[in-house]
Chain A
Amino acid sequence: MPEPLRPRRRLMQPSVIPGFGLAFGYMLTCLGLIVLLPLAALVARASGLGLSGIWEVATDPRVAAALKVSFGISILAALTASTFGFLVAWVLTRYDFPGRRVVDAVVDLPFALPTAVAGIALASLYAPNGLVGAQLAKLGIQAAYTPLGIYIAMVFIGLPFAVRTVQPLIVEIDREIEEASATLGADRLHTLTRVILPPLIPAVLTGFALAFARGVGEYGSIIFIAGNLPYVSEIAPLLIVIKLSEFDYKGACAIAVIMLAISFATLLAINLIQAWSRRRFGYV
């Protein structure tokens, strides 16, 4: 079939769906007002310090320690949340059992719960005199008021993201593919690792990214269980609050900008891995 006449390369392929201009303009306006404008204001406020000033804030030992706590624990928590979340999603879609819908609804609760309530609930549970904390204390483990407490809170708030991103894809897996795989002689493990898991990887990564981003930005629930000791269990958002109570708006914005930059880099990296896995496995 001959190519249609194209006088020059166009920036974008014309679409068959009408209304591109209107929709695109609307999208830009909304995105600009709701997302980009506040971010720009943040950057503008921080830019009063200049790049060297922001770098100074970032390399301040206490800020660096808090960033390490925030990002390090978020990654660990997101790993846990996506592993465990995958399992939850799998059980919820592949098996039928009494109370399945209730469990399905329970998964969303961390979304809906005010974070402070979650924090207080977790702290009273994991405190040395709490239900779980008392048992852990017997083993010599202190959960609340240590970095472990931060991890627990982050897993709690990140889990629904991990579950809800993977679940629809597991639903969509065609049973016939598994049957075909079996008919063609693959054993169960082979079917799982070569047929079922690869198309789910991008969704798992998305869930990981969301849980990670949520954990990094979380303040309310963590503050009650973290202990908040400088250099040990102090998260970066708390340092922002501390800067604000010193009326140091620039410093607060600088930490926020640094967090944004690291988060953006991490999310970008995850997106690249996703793109790579799509190419590699040729799915979705």
Chain B
Amino acid sequence: MYKNFFRYLISAIFLLGFSVNSNADFKVGFVYVGPTGDHGWTFQHHEGRNAVEAAGIKTTFVESVPEGADAERVIRQLAQSGHDLIFTTSFGYMDPTNKVAKDFPNVKFEHATGYKREHSNVSTYSARFYEGRTLLGHIAGKMTKTNTIGYIASFPIPEVIRGINAMTLAAQKVNPNIKTKIVWVFTWYDPGKEAEAAQALIDQGADVIMQHTDSTAPVQTAEKAGVWSFGQASDMQRFAPKSILTSIIDDWAPYYVERAIAARDGTWNQQDTWHGLKEGMVAMGPYNSAMGADLVKEVEQLQKDLASGKVHSFTGPIYDQKGNILVAEGKVADDGMLAGMSVYVKGVEGDIPK
């Protein structure tokens, strides 16, 4: 993280010196779904904003904006008060973002994790978190003694199912007996529920706990129970130093800086971005020394191969739970299939809630 920070600081100083034609009034607005806090989804977006500030661009943020009727007003106010580029950083802002974008054709909008781009001034972006899950799966497959991985899942949307599948496939590759047990908590953030889910999975024999939720409760529960875990969104190592093997880190900073500069310089255009390990939007936290040097080396190699495209998270043959083929041998799943993923792969236990 610090490495990135200095990278942007240097580029900021550079830009400050050379920005002759920059628009002095150029402002970027951010809408957050939660408080900025010290870890998790919103914190990472806030880090991205800090990087934009460090690049010499003025920014504003509004935190804890409910995804209901209030979101539209906040986005509109940002657009009205002279913000030229607005990042709306939660799925629930999809319709309000498009609605406001219609009325402000000169303002650019960037919506995270959505799929609607109804006007030419709306872009969407998301990260290929599943690539990180592939690395976690590899580690989990090697580290588990009970061959059972516990997964705390939020909502049965393609994003979450993709993560479960990517992890399971990677774990099976190194350990064919892997079973993935899932608890759906139907929330993005609820420490109480998440802790209960983690405990339930541990009681069912899971000795590696993984989460697609935002609080630190699962890793802390894992630390107490003496099982392995992985951090989510931010580096969570300090919350469970013994238990955490590594964390998937959402690094929005490079993208935010790039888009802010593009919007300022008039080169911004509509796009649908889906970046991964290659571009650095998905990054890995430090590896736990308990993994052993060999495994760390393997994982680092796999990370490089995923980034270069040599290895794909969803390489055939992939079967669904009933044994039907999803991706043929030698093929990889295309982005369309990944974007709409709604079935479990073989080895995942239970059904997707309907």
To the question of whether A and B form a pair in one complex, the answer is no
Interface residues of B (CB under 8 A from A): none
Interface residues of A (CB under 8 A from B): none
